[in-house]
Structure 1
Amino acid sequence: MPIDVEEFEESPEAELRAGGNGPTNGERVLAFLAAHDDQAFTPKEIRGATDVARGSVGVVLSRLEDRGLVRHRGEYWAIAPDADIDAALTSVHVARAASDRFGAEDPAEWGPGVDDSEDE
């Protein structure tokens, strides 16, 4: 499906996928908050602007916060002041492309010495 030239010129490269599965919930929330970096929003407002399911918004925001990409105070959420959004979206795109091409990773296949336990 074609896109207009303005979208082509202004969209981060990670968002310009032909065909693909579309942006993830995290990508939607991150892109929305980055586009409104001078404002903070409630989860309800974010849900309304991004069409992310009600039960998913809180989880998505928490995961983005764990990665240092968003911040919150009280009920309001905003993009983190030093978040590198383009790098984050590019990393997601690269990981998705690798999974699509090579399949999901299984740490057990990484070879000897790989241990997920924290018993050491």
Structure 2
Amino acid sequence: MSIDRETFERATEDELRDVSVPDQVLAFLTAHQDRAFKATEIARQLDLEPDTVSTALTRLKSRELVEHKSAYWALTSDSNRLQSSADYERATQLFNDQLGAEAKDDWEAHAPAEPHPSHQSDNDTDTNTS
């Protein structure tokens, strides 16, 4: 995965080493955007576990950043979608730099035990309201 020069100059070795699997997969598909690959081929090229790559691809598909047909995966052709994702990532990094990264454990400690009613399925809601 490529990074901008400013990131290269300010990041530590450890920070540069910790590129997420979805980012690695997305970078690989971006570098080969004229082709579609099987998940196992992507895993082999990136020296990652196939199951890990499959999970990353599924998550990227849910974000509409990759397309899936039969056993093949490719980068989305929707350049606006890719740009929106890149803008989101840049904004998140900016806020993390200014305010500190969000601590997931702290967030989960304050999260409600039950999901908000808008996130419950129809089967989970009480239909006997008056």
| TM bucket, shorter chain | 0.5 to 0.7
Match 1:22 to one of 14, 18, 23: 18
Instruction: Assess, with a 3 A threshold, how the Cα gap between structure 1 residues 42 and 12 changes in structure 2: closer, same or farther.
Output: farther
- Indicate the residue corresponding to 1:53 in structure 2: 49
**Residue 11 of structure 1: CA displacement?**
3.1
1:44-101 CA-partner distances (Å, limit 9, x unpaired):
1100111221221111100000000000111110000112353354366468768964
Query: Of the two structures, which has the highest relative contact order with CA contacts closer than 8 Å and spacing of 6 or more?
Result: 1
Q: Is the 8 A contact 1:15 1:23 kept in 2?
A: no
Percent sequence identity is 24
Return the offset for 1:116.
2.1
TM-score of the two chains, using structure 2 as the length reference = 0.63
For 2:111 and 2:20, the matched residues in 1 are separated by 27
Amino acid at match of 1:11: I
SS at match of 2:36: coil
Show the counterpart of 2:61: 65
Counterpart among 74, 78, 92 of residue 74 in structure 2 = 78
Once residues 4 and 24 of structure 2 are traced to their aligned partners in structure 1, the CA distance between those partners, rounded to angstroms, is 12
Moved more, 42-51 or 97-106: 97-106
> Where does structure 2 lack aligned partners over 5 or more consecutive residues?
none
Given the two structures, how large is their TM-score scaled by the length of structure 1?
A: 0.68
2:29 touches 2:75 (CA, 8 Å); kept in 1?
yes
Residue 3 (structure 2) pairs with residue 11 (structure 1)? yes
For 2:75 and 2:94, the matched residues in 1 are separated by: 22
Structure 1: tracts of 5 or more residues without a match: 1-6
Residue 106 of structure 1 and its aligned partner are, at CA, apart by 1.9
Larger Rg: 2
More helix by share: 2
Match of 2:57, SS state, is helix
**Do the aligned residues in 1 keep the contact of 2:96 with 2:102 (CA within 8 Å)?**
no
Q: What amino acid maps onto 1:78 in structure 2?
A: A
